[in-house]
C-alpha cells in the first residue's frame, strides 16, 4: 500500500427518510472523491475500479450522483450488489481467517447496512461464503432515528432487540450458535466500530492500524467497553482520542448492532479486521 485517504462524508444521511441522497451529502462525497482522483493522477494510475455500496443502491438519485462524480472527478463508479460487497469483504479479510476451525463468521457494520457471512474454511483453500445476510441496519440510519447523545438504556435495548430479531432466521438456517458452543467457529468483525473498540481495548492514545488489525479481543471486555461508551454523552465520545470528531454518534449505534450480534452468537473472542472491500478489490 503506497497511499491512502479516508474521510467521513455520511453519504446516506437523510436517505431513510427521503429515499434520496441529500445535496449536502453529495457535496461532501464529491469533495472527498476529488481528493482521491487527484491522488490517483499524481500516482499516474493506469487502471482502477471504483465502487459504491448501500447508499447508492438504495437512493433514488444514486445514478445521478454517480454521473456527477464522473463529470467532476473523472472516476467511473459502479454501485455493486450486497452479495458482491460481501464477497469482496471476505476476500479482503481472508488472510486473517483461521482455517484450523471449519467455520468462520464475519460481520461488517456499515453506515447504511450490516453484512454477515457464514463461511466454510479448509486448510490450503480460500474461505468460501456459504450464506450472506444483508440487514438494513447501519450506524448512520440508526443515529438519525435515535439520536447520538446519551441513549437511555431502554432505547439501547430496543435497538439491540430489533437487530437480534432480524438475525434469528440466519441462525435457524445454520445453527451457528451450536457451532460456536462446540468451538468450531472463528468470529471476525470488520468495521469502524470493531476497530475502534480494538484501539480502546489496547488502551491506545490514538488509533494505530498495525496494532488493531488482526487483534483478538475477549467478548466480556468488548461488552464492558460498549457499556461504558453508551453511558458517555456526545461530547465525551467526541473528545475520545480513538473515536474523534464525526463519529461520536455513530459509535454508540455500532455498539448496539455489535451487542445484538454478540448476544445472538456469543463467541468467546472476536478478531478485529481493519481491512475489507478495498483489500478485496486489490486482491481480485
Domain boundary among 63, 79, 95: 79
Strands 269-272 and 185-189 turn out to be parallel
**C-alpha span between 145 and 141 (Å, rounded):** 6
| Residue 141, domain member (yes or no) | yes
Predicted local distance difference test score (pLDDT) of residue 148: 63
Domain containing residue 73: CATH number: 3.30.420.40
Residue 1 belongs to a domain? no
Cα(82)–Cα(73) distance, integer angstroms: 25
Same domain, 206 and 105: yes
CA distance 222 to 244: 19
Grid coordinates representing 280 are 478485496
Is residue 266 domain-shared with residue 126, that is, in the same domain? Answer: yes
Angle between helices 248-264 and 153-174 (to 10 degrees): 40
Based on the fold, state whether residues 197 and 256 are members of the same structural domain: yes
Residue 112: per-residue pLDDT? 85
The residues facing 52 across adjacent strands are: 79
62 in a domain, yes or no? yes
Domain boundary among 79, 95, 129: 79
Dihedral-angle region of residue 134 (phi above 0 means left; psi in -120 to 50 means alpha; beta otherwise)? beta
Same domain? 157 vs 57: no
Residue 9 inside a domain? The answer is no
- Inside any domain, residue 4: no
CATH of the domain at 119: 3.30.420.150
How many of the other CB atoms lie within 10 Å of CB of 11? Answer: 25
Residues 89 and 224 in one domain: yes
Contact in structure between 103 and 185 (CB atoms under 8 Å): yes
The answer to the question of residue 210 being in a domain is yes
H helix or E strand, kind and range, residue 106: strand 103-109
Using CA atoms, how far residue 221 sits from 71, 111, 135, 263, in Å, is 48, 24, 26, 14
In terms of domains, do 33 and 106 share one? no
Q: Are residues 136 and 34 in the same domain?
A: no
pLDDT at 234: 86
Spatial CB neighbours of 4, under 8 Å, sequence gap ≥ 6: none
Total domains present in the chain: 2
Query: Do the domain assignments include residue 54?
Result: yes
pTM for this prediction: 0.89
Taking alpha carbons only, the member of 231, 88, 213 closest to residue 150 is 231
Whose cell is 478489490? That residue is 281
Q: What is the full per-residue pLDDT of the chain (284 aa) written as tens digits? A: 788 888 889 998 889 889 999 999 999 999 999 999 999 999 999 999 999 998 999 999 999 999 999 999 999 999 999 889 889 999 999 999 999 999 999 999 988 889 999 999 999 899 999 999 999 888 988 988 887 677 888 999 999 999 999 999 999 999 999 999 999 999 999 989 999 999 999 999 999 999 999 999 999 999 999 999 988 888 888 889 889 778 888 999 999 999 999 999 999 999 999 999 999 998 87
Q: Do 61 and 103 fall into the same domain?
A: no
Do 41 and 149 sit in the same domain of this protein?
no
Report yes or no on 7 lying in a domain.
no
149 touches 251 (CB < 8 A) = no
- Statement to judge: residues 240 and 262 lie in one domain: yes
d(CA 249, CA 277): 24
Say which residues have a Cβ less than 8 Å from residue 279's Cβ, sequence separation at least 6: 91, 92, 93
Note whether 136 and 53 are same-domain residues: no
The C-alpha cell at 177 is 450458535
Q: Both 243 and 269 in a single domain? A: yes
CB neighbours of residue 137 within 10 Å: 21
Contact 201, 228 (CB under 8 A): no
- Structural domain of 39: 15-79
Domain boundary among 79, 111, 133: 79
Amino acid at each position: 500500500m503506497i497511499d491512502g485517504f479516508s474521510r467521513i462524508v455520511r453519504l446516506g444521511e437523510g436517505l431513510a427518510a427521503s429515499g434520496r441522497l441529500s445535496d449536502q451529502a453529495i457535496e461532501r462525497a464529491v469533495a472527498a472523491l476529488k481528493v482521491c482522483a487527484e491522488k490517483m493522477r499524481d500516482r499516474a494510475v493506469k487502471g482502477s475500479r471504483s465502487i459504491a455500496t448501500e447508499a447508492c443502491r438504495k437512493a433514488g438519485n444514486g445514478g445521478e450522483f454517480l454521473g456527477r462524480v464522473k463529470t467532476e472527478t473523472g472516476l467511473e463508479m459502479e454501485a455493486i450488489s450486497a452479495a458482491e460487497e460481501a464477497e469482496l469483504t471476505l476476500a479482503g479479510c481472508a488472510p486473517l481467517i483461521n482455517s484450523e476451525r471449519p467455520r468462520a463468521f464475519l460481520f461488517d457494520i456499515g453506515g447504511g447496512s450490516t453484512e454477515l457471512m457464514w463461511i466454510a474454511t479448509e486448510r490450503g483453500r480460500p474461505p468460501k461464503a456459504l450464506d450472506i445476510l444483508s440487514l438494513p441496519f447501519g450506524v448512520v440510519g440508526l443515529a438519525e432515528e435515535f439520536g447520538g447523545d446519551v441513549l437511555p438504556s431502554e432505547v439501547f435495548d430496543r435497538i439491540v432487540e430489533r437487530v437480534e430479531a432480524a438475525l434469528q432466521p440466519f441462525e435457524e438456517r445454520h445453527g451457528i450458535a451450536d457451532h460456536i458452543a462446540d468451538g468450531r467457529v472463528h468470529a471476525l468483525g470488520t468495521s469502524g466500530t470493531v476497530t475502534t473498540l480494538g484501539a480502546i481495548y489496547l488502551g491506545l492514545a490514538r488509533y494505530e492500524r498495525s496494532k488493531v488489525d488482526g487483534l483478538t479481543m475477549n467478548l466480556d471486555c468488548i461488552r464492558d467497553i460498549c457499556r461504558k461508551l453508551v453511558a458517555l454523552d456526545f461530547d465525551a465520545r467526541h473528545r475520545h482520542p480513538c473515536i474523534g470528531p464525526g463519529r461520536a454518534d455513530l459509535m454508540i449505534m455500532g455498539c448496539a448492532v455489535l451487542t445484538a450480534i454478540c448476544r445472538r452468537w456469543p463467541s468467546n473472542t472476536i478478531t478485529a479486521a481493519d481491512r475489507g472491500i478495498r483489500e478485496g478489490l486489490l486482491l481480485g
